[in-house]
Homo-oligomer: A and B are copies of this chain.
Amino acid sequence: MRTERHVARKQVGIRDVAAAAGVSVTTVSHVLNDTPHTRTSEQTRQRVREAAADLGYKPNRLARGLRTQASGMVGLITEEIATTPHAGRIIQGAQEAAAQRGLTLAIINSDLNPDPDIDPQLLRALTDRQADGFIYATVYHDEVVVPPEMHTSPAVLIGARDGDGDVPSVIPDEKAGAVAVVDMLRAAGHTRIAFAASSVDVPATRGRVAGYRERLASEGIPTERLIVESPTESEAAGGYAAAMALLNDGTPIDERPTALFCYNDRMAMGAYRAAAELGLSVPRDLSIVGFDDQAPIPYSLYPELTTVALPHYEMGAWAVETLAALVDGKGEHRLLGAHPTLLACPIVHRGSVASPVTAS
């Protein structure tokens, strides 16, 4: 008399429903799936539905998938999810969009890939399970070269474009985000806006400085002396050093920057410390803006950090929506593949920006 808790009690199948309703399995399938061009009397439909409910019938998606050649599953491969701060939001966005469409999301975690070639082996578990499509999410490459499977099946890239210009992709519009920050700071009355830049070469780095530099340049404001790169990584210590270099370089106090735009929130943390050591009050003496909206930094700082959010959730959702459209044969994905879709990075206003006290 062993415990048999995990022995499934004869799963009820479509045949059982048919028997209970006194119709054929064909009919059951039609009414339960609302197959178009199939007219079944309302009375029969009723009977079928009741029988299904009574028996607690749940269609076996494996069987259906085998028959229809569509698993209803999409695979998300993400590089080193743990190290990329908000990867969770990508997964969440993808999962919720998938659920809305009756799709199930399978996750594959990959090691951080130093070169831009995607390992075809990663797709293996997914292709074996007949995934309807693939999403590959990376954060360290501008361009990536995708394995053949991703060319022959619906696929989508997050955070990098396809080198062949074939697979659709989505990336954050870092540059526009930086431009918006400059505009916001200008509107608050700042003219001397410094930038604490990153020294590591990832896609985000270039877009952010570019937005900052070009926007200021377009208003005739020279930025050479206002940009300093972190001497180390883009962490708090680097932000501290950059801020120190910027604010404590011997220039007269009334020529110092009144606003400091940091490459990311972690560097902004260091900038806060530098400001404190220099006796500068944020935001009165110095406005500080970050980038990433990386929890829990922005609301752990005092005052809370005004920063720019990355559209992780939105990219995840965009990915499965685009995938679903490709699977359905809609959407001219070739066109999509040529240029990455840019998603907005909205400013999150908190307490670290104010108008400069020194009126010009």
Closest to A152 in B: B5
Please determine whether B300 and A235 come into contact, CB atoms closer than 8 angstroms: yes
Closest to A299 in B: B235
Among A68-106, those with CB < 8 Å from B are 69, 71-73, 81-82, 85-89, 91-92, 95-96, 99, 102, 104-106
- Distance, CA A324 to CA B86, complexed state (A): 29
Contacts of A66 in B (CB 8 A): 60, 62-63, 66
Given contacts A6-B153, A63-B66, A66-B62, are A125 and B109 in contact (CB under 8 A)?
Answer: no
Partner of A81, one of B59, B91, B102, B326: B91
Please determine whether B62 and A269 come into contact, CB atoms closer than 8 angstroms: no
Contacts of A72 in B (CB 8 A): 129
Most buried by B among A91, A235, A296: A296
- Write the nearest CB–CB distance from A284 to chain B, whole angstroms: 17
Contacts of A261 in B (CB 8 A): none
Please determine whether B302 and A130 come into contact, CB atoms closer than 8 angstroms: no
Contacts of A102 in B (CB 8 A): 125
* A329 contacts B by Cβ under 8 Å: yes
* A189 contacts B by Cβ under 8 Å: no
Contacts of A297 in B (CB 8 A): 296-297, 300
Among A1-17, those with CB < 8 Å from B are 3, 5-6, 8-9
* A353 contacts B by Cβ under 8 Å: no
- Write the nearest CB–CB distance from A59 to chain B, whole angstroms: 6
Closest to A71 in B: B62
Given contacts A88-B87, A296-B266, are A129 and B95 in contact (CB under 8 A)?
Answer: no
Partner of A65, one of B62, B153, B240: B62
Please determine whether A237 and B302 come into contact, CB atoms closer than 8 angstroms: yes
* A253 contacts B by Cβ under 8 Å: no
Partner of A236, one of B6, B62, B300, B326: B300
* A141 contacts B by Cβ under 8 Å: no
- Write the nearest CB–CB distance from A197 to chain B, whole angstroms: 18
Among A129-155, those with CB < 8 Å from B are 129-130, 151-154
Given contacts A235-B299, A329-B6, are A99 and B108 in contact (CB under 8 A)?
Answer: yes
- Write the nearest CB–CB distance from A150 to chain B, whole angstroms: 11
- Distance, CA A128 to CA B313, complexed state (A): 26
Contacts of A65 in B (CB 8 A): 62
* A47 contacts B by Cβ under 8 Å: no
* Contacts A62-B62, A62-B71 known; 16 new A-B pairs at CB < 8 A: A5-B152, A62-B65, A63-B66, A72-B129, A81-B88, A82-B88, A95-B107, A95-B109, A96-B109, A99-B108, A99-B125, A105-B107, A236-B296, A236-B299, A240-B302, A266-B296
A-B contact pairs, 10 of them (CB 8 A): A60-B66, A61-B128, A62-B71, A91-B107, A92-B109, A95-B108, A96-B109, A236-B301, A266-B300, A276-B276
